[in-house]
Amino acid sequence: MADRVNRKAYQQSLPKKRVSAGCLFFDKSQRLLIVKPTYKDGWEIPGGAVNANESPLAACIREVSEELGLTRRPLRLLCVDFAGETKQRTESLSFIFDGGVLPDEEIAAIRLPEKELSEYRFLPTTDALTLLNRRLRRRVRRCLAARVAGTTLYLEEQQPPWLT
């Protein structure tokens, strides 16, 4: 028993990372869904922070429900991206899942939480990417390619580390 307590105490002493989970959704014209937060500038994909004792997949499902009002399980993981600490942010892991194509009736059922999101848009991917911040744009661009190729990516700072 003491060995288990010591192991857990040791694990609790290890560094912590921020973890987020997001999801790419498309309409039948393959336009990408983006959302506009009320609490910061710019546009994002649906998603958010992974809570303590919550898996990235569970967080993605929860965030999609909270942000869009949809109960939908992602089809698959597209990427995991590690971002190191900078002067402006702590280190993080970002998971992006493929939510697939939303049928018209699910799009009509989207309900945004007015205190968190002010609007959503389905845009051609090139137009949507221009509205995302640089890091998210690079990550999503990689995910779009992975989606087409049917692969899953591991990224560091939005690119495969073996390509640098």
Checking if the pLDDT of 149 tops 90, the result is: yes
User: CA-CA distance, 60 to 128, in Å (whole number)?
Assistant: 20
* Domain ranges across the chain: 17-163
pTM over cut 0.85: yes
pLDDT (0 to 100) of residue 118: 97
Checking if the pLDDT of 1 tops 60, the result is: no
Specify the CATH class of 17-163 in words: alpha beta
Task: Find tokens 């393959």 and name the residue.
Answer: 30
Q: What angle do CA 116, 117, 120 make, to 5 degrees?
A: 165
